[in-house]
């Protein structure tokens, strides 16, 4: 185990201060920040997904941010392959790979491996999209439960992306997604240590509200307007990023901007609850190699000198 290269994970719910901490740690230790957020991979969504700014990206290497067009949905399998390549490149350059984000599925795929599922094919994908549009995610989930109960039991009926993905896999391969995922996988050949941010709920709610207000000032409405002009399939992941459906409804004249902000903040808050639950119950690293921070932070500036020393001592010891 000690012979494997070391990578650092900085994880936690949206608005917990991950990006700022990763930037500071990367500057101090000579790291490369590797995006582990499923929405920050889309190039059209810099503002609405709170991607690092151009100035922040210039301070240390940042990779896998804004690398896909919104028309091309990403996947855990695609991201894992790209992340492993970027981790190897950072290691070869003498830099510490720092995986920063809040997408638990991506962390799980990277650490534990992911089943090699055959491409279901265009016909299965088209059918899943049609059924989703015709019957909605709950209707499609009910249909999925009749043919692949094991997979349906794992999915929230409202999770349109994963329900549609499960349907297309069953239809296109003849086997359910749960059955494919039960196959043996190949863990990543790395040692992982983790800094897990787990801030109080009230601090997180305040941070979400503040961030969305800042997004509006920074041009989130124009960004969503430009995205809608592409006339993409509304089922695409990028079209359902937090804030996009709500601002789109405002741009169509259906709700006020204040109501759009309220709904977006509510949806984001609900998502952070699911994120926090996932991180509390899933292993990102051995418990001895995990350091949990319960206060919301915005980089090292909010730490005392003794807290900074403890943080970097942890990273150096586990590394």
Q: Rounded CA gap, 134 and 317, in Å?
A: 55
Was 15 annotated as part of a binding site?
yes
Mean pLDDT (whole number) for 165-190: 89
pLDDT of residue 158: 87
Q: Rounded CA gap, 50 and 135, in Å?
A: 33
Per-chain mean pLDDT for the chain: 92
pLDDT band at 181 (very low <50, low <70, confident <90, very high): confident
**CATH topology for the 122-181 domain:** Histone, subunit A (1.10.20)
Q: Rounded CA gap, 31 and 43, in Å?
A: 23
Domain ranges of the chain: 6-114+185-318, 122-181
pLDDT of 225 higher than 80: yes
Please give the full DSSP string across the chain, using - where no structure is assigned.
Answer: -TTS-EEEEEE-STTSSHHHHHHHHHHHHTEEEEE--SSTTBTT-TTTTTPPPHHHHHHS-EESSS-B-TTS---HHHHHHHHHHHHHHHHHTT-EEEEEE--HHHHHHHHH----PPP--HHHHHHHHHHHHHHHHHHHHHHHHHH-HHHHTTS-TT-HHHHHHHHHHHHHHSS-HHHHHTS-----SSEEEEEEE---HHHHHHHHHHHHHHHHHHTHHHHHHHHHHT---TTSGGGGSTTHHHHHHHHTTSS-HHHHHHHHHHHHHHHHHHHHHHHHHS-SS-GGGEEEE-S--SSGGGS-HHHHHHHHHHHHHH-
Was 160 annotated as part of a binding site?
no
Q: Rounded CA gap, 318 and 192, in Å?
A: 9
Give per-residue pLDDT as tens, 259-318.
999 999 999 999 999 998 999 888 888 888 899 888 777 677 777 788 888 888 888 888
Was 13 annotated as part of a binding site?
yes
Was 17 annotated as part of a binding site?
yes
Rounded to two decimals, the pTM is: 0.85
**CATH topology for the 6-114+185-318 domain:** Rossmann fold (3.40.50)
Mean pLDDT (whole number) for 44-68: 97
Kindly tell me the burial class for residue 306, based on how many C-beta atoms sit within 10 Å of its own C-beta (0-12, 13-18, 19 or more): exposed
């Amino acid at each position: 185990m000690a012979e494997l290269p070391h990578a650092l994970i900085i994880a936690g719910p949206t608005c917990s201060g991950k990006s700022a901490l990763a930037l500071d740690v990367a500057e101090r230790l000579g790291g490369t920040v590797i995006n582990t957020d499923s929405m920050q991979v889309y190039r059209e969504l810099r503002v609405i997904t709170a991607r690092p700014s151009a100035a922040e990206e210039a301070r240390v290497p940042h990779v896998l941010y804004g690398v896909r067009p919104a028309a091309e949905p990403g996947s855990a399998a695609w991201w894992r392959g790209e992340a492993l390549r970027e981790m190897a490149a950072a290691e070869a350059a003498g830099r510490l790979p720092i995986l920063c984000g809040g997408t638990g599925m991506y962390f799980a795929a990277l650490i534990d491996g992911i089943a090699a599922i055959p491409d279901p094919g265009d016909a299965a994908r088209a059918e899943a999209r049609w059924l989703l549009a015709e019957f909605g995610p709950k209707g499609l989930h009910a249909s999925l439960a009749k043919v692949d109960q094991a997979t349906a039991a794992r999915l929230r009926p409202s999770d349109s992306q994963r329900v549609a993905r499960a349907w297309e896999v069953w239809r296109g391969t003849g086997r359910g997604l749960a059955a494919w995922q039960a196959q043996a996988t190949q863990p990543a050949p790395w040692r992982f240590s983790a800094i897990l941010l787990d801030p109080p709920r009230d601090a997180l709610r305040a941070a979400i509200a503040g961030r969305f207000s800042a997004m509006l000032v920074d041009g989130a409405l124009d960004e969503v307007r430009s995205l809608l002009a592409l006339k993409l399939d509304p089922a695409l992941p990028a079209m359902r990023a937090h804030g996009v459906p709500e601002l789109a409804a405002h741009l169509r004249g259906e709700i006020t901007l204040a109501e759009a902000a309220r709904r977006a903040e509510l949806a984001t808050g609900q998502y952070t609850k699911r994120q926090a639950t996932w991180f509390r119950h899933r292993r990102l690293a051995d418990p001895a190699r995990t350091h949990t921070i319960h206060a919301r932070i915005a980089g090292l500036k909010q730490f005392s000198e003794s807290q900074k020393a403890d943080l970097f001592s942890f990273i150096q010891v586990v590394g």
